[in-house]
C-alpha cells in the first residue's frame, strides 16, 4: 500500500424480506457518509449496493476480486447480520490479508459475539462511524494504532476487546457525504413516475424511550439538528447535480426543534426547491405543529409516517411510547386534513395477543383512518430494553427472520402460523376497507392510493392478500378501471420498516 492509495469497498447485504423494497429503491445513506470519511483519510472508495441491485454473494465475490480492496466494510442490523458475516468471509477467501469491518446497530451492541464467533470479521465500528472509519483507514495504512481509535472493537491478543466510546460528531454539517459515488439510476420512488429518490438527513438522534426500538438506544437519547440552510442547499444540490425529485428523510424525529423545523419549511417554500419530501415524525409533534401544517404542505411534504403502534393504551405504556390513543387519532386527522398522505404502523404479537385482538386492532385502525397502515411483528432485538420481558416467548434465533414481517416470538394462545396469517390478513383487510371508500378521498390522493394498490398486488410480501382482494369480486368496479389505466410498477410496503432495514 505504500506506493498507492488504500482501497475501501463498502458493500450492502443482499438481503430481502418484502419490506426493504418499500415504496422505492433506497440508497445506503450511511455509506455515503462513511465513504466521505474514508476519502478524507486518502482512500479510493467504491460503494456496491448489493441489496438494491439484487446481487448475490457470488456477485459480491466478483466485485471484490475486480476492485481489489484493502478494506471491505459492511453493516449489520439484526436481519442482515448473517449476510454481513458472509461478506467478510468472502473477502477473506479472496485475500486473507484484507481487513474487514462491520458497523451499524446490531454490531454496536453485539460486537463481542461477532468477534468471538467469526474470525472473518476483523473490526466492529460501534456507534456513529465517520470519524472512526477515517482513523481506521489511517491505522490500516500504518499497520498500527488500532488501540487508539475510539468506537472500535477488535481482537486484542486474540480476545474480543473494545476501545473507549466514540463521542457524537458535534457538527453534522462538517461531514462530507460522497454523493458522487452513488449510481443514481437505481434509486427511484415508485408511486411517482420519474421520481428519482434520495435519502437525506437533516438531523440525527431520538430523545424518546420506546422500549422496542433500537434508535433511542443507539443515539443515547440525544438529538442533533443540521443548520436549516445547509440542509436545504443540500437538497438543491441533489436536485441540480443528480436529478433528485423526491427525498425521504432518514431522521427519526426531524421536527424535534419546532423553531428549526419551521425555518426549514420557510426555506423550502422561499427557494421553491420543488423536491417532494417524505418523512417520519412523532404524533405529539404533529399536534404541536397544527398551525404549521399548511407550511408543511406548501414546502413539499407529501407523506408523513407517525408510529401509532397500538390502539391499546396498556400496550403503548408497555412500549413506552409516551403518547395517548386519542392523540394518535388527532395527529392522523390533521395530516389528512392538509392533503398529505398519512401512514402508520401497528406492532402486534405481544404474549397476550390473540386472533380476536388482532382483528379488533384492524377495526380500530380503520377508525383512525390513515391512508396507509401496516401491521408488523413485534421483534425483540437482542439489545432492546423490552427484550428481557419477552425472552421466554422467542422461538427462533435465526436473525434473518428479525425483519418485522416474520414473527419470531409466540403469543400464549396462538401458533406461529396463526400469527403470521393474521398479520397478513390484517393489512389486507385494512386496505380492502380503504379501497372501498376511495370516493371519500381527494382526486390526487385517490390516484396515489390506486397506484399503491397496484404496487401491493404486483410485488410485495402482501401480494397474495391484495391479489385475492382484487380478483375475488371484492374490489369496486371504479377501482378496477383505475387499476387498468396504470402501467406496470414495482413493490411497496411500510416506508418506516423499509427505511430501518435499509439503514445501513
HEC per residue, 454-471: HHHHHCCCCHHHHHHHHH
Taken in order of first residue, the domains within the chain and their CATH numbers are 7-162 (3.40.50.2300), 184-438+446-501 (3.80.30.20)
HEC per residue, 57-112: HHHHHHHHHHHCCCEEEEECCHHHHHHHHHHHHHHHHHCCCCEEEEECHHHHHCHH
How far apart are the C-alpha atoms of 495 and 497, rounded to whole Å? 6
How far apart are the C-alpha atoms of 211 and 397, rounded to whole Å? 20
Give the three-state DSSP class for 344: strand
User: Average pLDDT, stretch 230-251?
Assistant: 96
Confidence of residue 224 (pLDDT cuts 50, 70, 90): confident
Confidence of residue 17 (pLDDT cuts 50, 70, 90): confident
> Looking at residue 169, what is its pLDDT?
92
> Which range is least confidently modeled, 52-61, 226-235, 427-436?
427-436
Task: Report the predicted TM-score, pTM, of the whole model to 2 decimal places.
Answer: 0.89
- Residue pLDDT, tens place only, 119-148: 999 999 999 999 999 999 999 999 999 999
For the chain, give the mean pLDDT.
Answer: 86
User: Average pLDDT, stretch 96-116?
Assistant: 95
Q: Is it the case that residue 309 has pLDDT exceeding 60?
A: no
- Give the residue with greater pLDDT, 347 vs 43: 43
- Residue pLDDT, tens place only, 320-330: 555 566 788 89
> Looking at residue 494, what is its pLDDT?
45
> Looking at residue 324, what is its pLDDT?
63
Confidence of residue 304 (pLDDT cuts 50, 70, 90): very high
How far apart are the C-alpha atoms of 325 and 231, rounded to whole Å? 33
- DSSP assignment letter at 302: E
Q: In 10 A of CB 150, how many CB atoms?
A: 15
Confidence of residue 495 (pLDDT cuts 50, 70, 90): very low
User: Average pLDDT, stretch 439-444?
Assistant: 85
How far apart are the C-alpha atoms of 197 and 169, rounded to whole Å? 26
CB 254 within 8 A of CB 202: yes
CB 73 within 8 A of CB 8: yes
How far apart are the C-alpha atoms of 272 and 241, rounded to whole Å? 16
Structure-block grid coordinates of residue 354: 390473540
> Looking at residue 1, what is its pLDDT?
60
Angle between helices 416-436 and 463-471 (to 10 degrees): 50
- Residue pLDDT, tens place only, 339-362: 999 999 888 999 999 999 999 889
Name, of 114-123, 193-202, 421-430, the range with top average pLDDT: 114-123
Q: What size, in residues, is the chain?
A: 504
> Looking at residue 502, what is its pLDDT?
42
Confidence of residue 402 (pLDDT cuts 50, 70, 90): very high
Amino acid at each position: 500500500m505504500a506506493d498507492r492509495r488504500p482501497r475501501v469497498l463498502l458493500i450492502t447485504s443482499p438481503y430481502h424480506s418484502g419490506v426493504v423494497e418499500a415504496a422505492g429503491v433506497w440508497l445506503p445513506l450511511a455509506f455515503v457518509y462513511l465513504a466521505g470519511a474514508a476519502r478524507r483519510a486518502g482512500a479510493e472508495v467504491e460503494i456496491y449496493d448489493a441489496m438494491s441491485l439484487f446481487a448475490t454473494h457470488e456477485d459480491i465475490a466478483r466485485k471484490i476480486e475486480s476492485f481489489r480492496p484493502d478494506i471491505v466494510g459492511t453493516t449489520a442490523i439484526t436481519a442482515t447480520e448473517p449476510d454481513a458475516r458472509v461478506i467478510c468471509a468472502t473477502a477473506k477467501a479472496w485475500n486473507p490479508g484484507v481487513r474487514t469491518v462491520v458497523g451499524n446497530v446490531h454490531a454496536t451492541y453485539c460486537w463481542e459475539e461477532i468477534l468471538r464467533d467469526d474470525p472473518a470479521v476483523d473490526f466492529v465500528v460501534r456507534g456513529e462511524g465517520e470519524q472512526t472509519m477515517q482513523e481506521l483507514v489511517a491505522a490500516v495504512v500504518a499497520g498500527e494504532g488500532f488501540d487508539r481509535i475510539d468506537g472500535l472493537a477488535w481482537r486484542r491478543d486474540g480476545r474480543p476487546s473494545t476501545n473507549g466510546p466514540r463521542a457524537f460528531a458535534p457538527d453534522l454539517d462538517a461531514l462530507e457525504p460522497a454523493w458522487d459515488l452513488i449510481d443514481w439510476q437505481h434509486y427511484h420512488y415508485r408511486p411517482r413516475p420519474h421520481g428519482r429518490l434520495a435519502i437525506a438527513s437533516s438531523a440525527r438522534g431520538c430523545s424518546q424511550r420506546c422500549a422496542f426500538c433500537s434508535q433511542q438506544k443507539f443515539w443515547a437519547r440525544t438529538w442533533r439538528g443540521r443548520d436549516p440552510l445547509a440542509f436545504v442547499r443540500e437538497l438543491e444540490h441533489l436536485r441540480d447535480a443528480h436529478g433528485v425529485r423526491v427525498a425521504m428523510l432518514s431522521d427519526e424525529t426531524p421536527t424535534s426543534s419546532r423553531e428549526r423545523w419551521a425555518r426549514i419549511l420557510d426555506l423550502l417554500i422561499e427557494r421553491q426547491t420543488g423536491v417532494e419530501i417524505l418523512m417520519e415524525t412523532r404524533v405529539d409533534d404533529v399536534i404541536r405543529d397544527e398551525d404549521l401544517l399548511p407550511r408543511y404542505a406548501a414546502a413539499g411534504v407529501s407523506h408523513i409516517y407517525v408510529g401509532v403502534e397500538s390502539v391499546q393504551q396498556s400496550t403503548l405504556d408497555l412500549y413506552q411510547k409516551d403518547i395517548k390513543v386519542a392523540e394518535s387519532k388527532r395527529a392522523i386527522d390533521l395530516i389528512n386534513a392538509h392533503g398529505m398522505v398519512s401512514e402508520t404502523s401497528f406492532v402486534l404479537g405481544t404474549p397476550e395477543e390473540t386472533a380476536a385482538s388482532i382483528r379488533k386492532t384492524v377495526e380500530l385502525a380503520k377508525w383512525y383512518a390513515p391512508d396507509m397502515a401496516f401491521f408488523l411483528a413485534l421483534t425483540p432485538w437482542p439489545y432492546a430494553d423490552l427484550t428481557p420481558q419477552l425472552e421466554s416467548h422467542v422461538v427462533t434465533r435465526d436473525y434473518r427472520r428479525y425483519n418485522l414481517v416474520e414473527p419470531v416470538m409466540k403469543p400464549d394462545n396462538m401458533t406461529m402460523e396463526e400469527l403470521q396469517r393474521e398479520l397478513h390478513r390484517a393489512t389486507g383487510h385494512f386496505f380492502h376497507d380503504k379501497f372501498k371508500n376511495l370516493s371519500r378521498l381527494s382526486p390526487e390522493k385517490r390516484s396515489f392510493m390506486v397506484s399503491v394498490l397496484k404496487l401491493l398486488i404486483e410485488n410485495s410480501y402482501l401480494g397474495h392478500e391484495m391479489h385475492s382482494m382484487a380478483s375475488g369480486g371484492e374490489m369496486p368496479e371504479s377501482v378496477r378501471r383505475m387499476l387498468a389505466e396504470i402501467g406496470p410498477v414495482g413493490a411497496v410496503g411500510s416506508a418506516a420498516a423499509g427505511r430501518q432495514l435499509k439503514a445501513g
